[in-house]
Amino acid sequence: MSASEASTDEEEIPTLFQGTNYADAGHKDMVYRGDESFRTANTVTIQIHSLEVREKGKGPLIAKNVPTVAVWIPEAMAKDWLVQQGS
């Protein structure tokens, strides 16, 4: 697994799911459809990442090889969750 880069935005990584990528500025040559194309409306999606975390933008490196889990919950399943806070 290779490390991906993520930048913080006020101590929060805004998104871990990757969008569509194009090889050209005119957005004609798609090289990746984006993570959304791999999930379905009624299934939980889980991704495991190893991140290099940087300050906002291309700022200084904060941490390397940070294990991270991204979870997407479909709207129909996102209701009535019970969360137990750690002590």
pLDDT, position 14: 73
Q: Report CA-CA distances (Å) from 58 to 8, 39, 87.
A: 10, 29, 36
| pLDDT tens string 15-50 | 788 888 899 999 889 998 888 888 888 888 898 989
Q: What is the pTM of this model?
A: 0.61
Q: Is the confidence at residue 82, as pLDDT, over 80?
A: no
Residue 31 makes CB contacts below 8 A (sequence gap 6+) with 21, 22, 23
pLDDT, position 87: 65
pLDDT, position 15: 78
pLDDT, position 1: 36
Question: Pairing between strand 21-22 and 30-32?
Answer: antiparallel
